[in-house]
Every structure is written in C-alpha cells, then in structure tokens.
Amino acid sequence: MTANKSHYLVSIPTQSPMKELWIRVLSLLGMAHWVVISTGAPRCTYYFGPFARRSSAEKAQLGYLEDLRGEGAQDIQVTIKQCKPARLTIFDEAEELMPILSP
C-alpha cells in the first residue's frame, strides 16, 4: 500500500434520518464508535466508522479485516473505541522514505 492509495471511507447504509442525525451528533462529540485497524506491513492505521453502537462496529470489522488481508496487509491489530479521528488513514511515511532507518 502506498500513500497515494485511496482512504477507506465507510458510507453509512441508508438509515432513517433520525439515526443518521444521532450518528452525526455522536461523531461531533467524539462518542461514536470506530473500528481502528493497525497494520505492521504496511505501517498504517485505519479508522472505519462511525457507528452508534459498539456491537455495530464489531459486526462490521470482519469485512474490513477481509479487505486488508486481501490487499496483503500483515501484523493486523484491531480495536474498537470511541473517538473523533482527525484522519481516517495514517500512513507511516518515514518507513517508505527511509526504510533502512525504520525498525
């Protein structure tokens, strides 16, 4: 994966306007649930969400894991947390720019 690859954006399936509004409120307050996936190769962190409930995030994580494994990602770690991510994909550019100095 390179820094030029597209970000993983999660489109919220068609939902009632009230549910969409609720998810937006939770997101603004940093209370929405996000699936956070870190990979060791390539060194990236991906945020998938937002979700109103933890259980919804837990159900959705399997599809994200399958996609990343299909792209060849390794050393995958998953957490679900309530947060307000500033970026949906964080790419460790230092590793690609200077692989000799990276651990």
| Residue 86 counted as domain residue | yes
Is the residue at 1 inside a domain?
no
**pLDDT at site 92:** 84
Q: Is residue 32 part of a domain?
A: yes
- Over residues 58-99, the pLDDT tens digits come to 999 999 999 999 999 999 999 999 999 999 999 986 655 555
- The predicted model scores a pTM of 0.74
Q: Say if residues 39 and 79 touch (Cβ distance below 8 Å).
A: no
Per-residue pLDDT, 76: 97
Structural domain count, the chain: 1
Name, in order, each residue with C-beta under 8 angstroms of 5's C-beta and a sequence gap of 6 or more. none
pLDDT tens, position by position, 29-61:
999 999 999 999 999 999 999 999 999 999 999
50 domain-assigned: yes
Query: What's the angle, vertex CA 18, arms to CA 16 and CA 21, rounded to 5?
Result: 110
Would residue 42 count as lying in a domain?
yes
Q: Which residues of 13-39 are buried (b: 16+ CB within 10 A; e: fewer)?
A: eeeeeeeeeebeebbeeeebbbbbbeb
pLDDT at 86: 94
Asked whether residue 46 is assigned to any structural domain, the reply reads yes
**DSSP letter, residue 50:** E
* Residue 57 within any structural domain of the chain: yes
Domain carrying residue 40: 17-94
